[in-house]
Amino acid sequence: MSQVRGGTSGEVGLRQIAIDEISIGKGHHYLTVVLNLKSGAVVYVGKGKGADALDPFWRRLRRCKADLKAVAMDMSPAYISAVSTNLPEAVIVFDRFHIVKLFNDKLSNFRRWLHSTMTEECQAVLKGTRWLLLKNPENLDDEKGEPERLEKALRLNKPLATVYYMREELRLFWIQEDKEKAGEFLDLWCQMAETSGVRMLRSFARTLQKHRAGILSWYDYRISTGPLEGTNNKIQTGRGRPTDTGMRSSSDSRSTLPTLQSTL
């Protein structure tokens, strides 16, 4: 599988792209998708995941001499290596939603571990709080008593409360005044995590520091892989079916997506 074929114009120059992978069907089959963030057009769908799935895309770019400025993606080492090698001048922007999701996953695992170490009485308090911990405070349902249930769970365990409130602090990174202030905020957050006494927070802080440049790049290019979600959902639900030559609409035998050449 290589480039996406046929279809409409998208005649916005390929300057900013998003890269992500999706799982389709059963058996963990993967596709790697590249989106033109300016036009919203899918410019590439490759079989598999990781760096190798992008090789045909890089060859295509070299032939077309595209002038890519920024790439939104997650913190996958394979993607980092591939983009750094093939687009050394492009700015890597680590996707904010992947960063938050990574923290949420670690928070859920931490809650699960705490639950396993508690007495039955304490386990009863913590039971069913996973989604309350992951909800933004403004979305808690007062009528269902969610704020009270969450507060009770946080009072039960200081490390859990620390992780939860650090999560809320992290959300503020993306609303700083400018890149310099964001850098100071990120460094302070990591310092607080390192001195928290919570291993999970220390580990996450080191991950953020390792990827600091790409996280701060959001203040240079406010892009993310978010626009890919709708496209990925169509692929996963069969409304846009991948073929051996790219993407094809399930309702039309012709591709409805633009060619790579037309976006360069």
Rounded mean pLDDT, 138-160 = 92
Tokens of 38: 């300016």
pLDDT tens per residue, range 169-221 = 999 999 999 999 999 999 999 999 999 999 999 999 999 999 999 999 999 99
Picking from 84, 72, 74, 93, the residue whose alpha carbon sits closest to that of residue 219 is 93
22 band by pLDDT with thresholds 50, 70 and 90: confident
Q: Is 94 helix (H, G, I), strand (E, B) or coil?
A: strand
Query: What pLDDT sits at residue 201?
Result: 97
CA 24 – CA 132 distance, rounded (Å): 29
Position 125 pLDDT exceeds 60: yes
237 band by pLDDT with thresholds 50, 70 and 90: low
Query: What pLDDT sits at residue 118?
Result: 84
Query: So where are the chain's domains?
Result: 16-95+224-263, 98-216
Backbone angles phi, psi at 47, to 5 degrees: -70, 140
Position 155 pLDDT exceeds 70: yes
Query: What pLDDT sits at residue 11?
Result: 36
- H-type alpha helices, the chain: 55-64, 77-86, 96-117, 120-126, 130-134, 146-156, 158-171, 179-194, 199-210, 212-216, 228-237
Q: Tokens 């670690």: give the residue.
A: 106
Q: Using CB atoms within 10 A of its CB, is residue 18 exposed (0-12), middle (13-18) or buried (19+)? A: buried
CATH superfamily of 16-95+224-263: Ribonuclease H-like superfamily/Ribonuclease H (3.30.420.10)
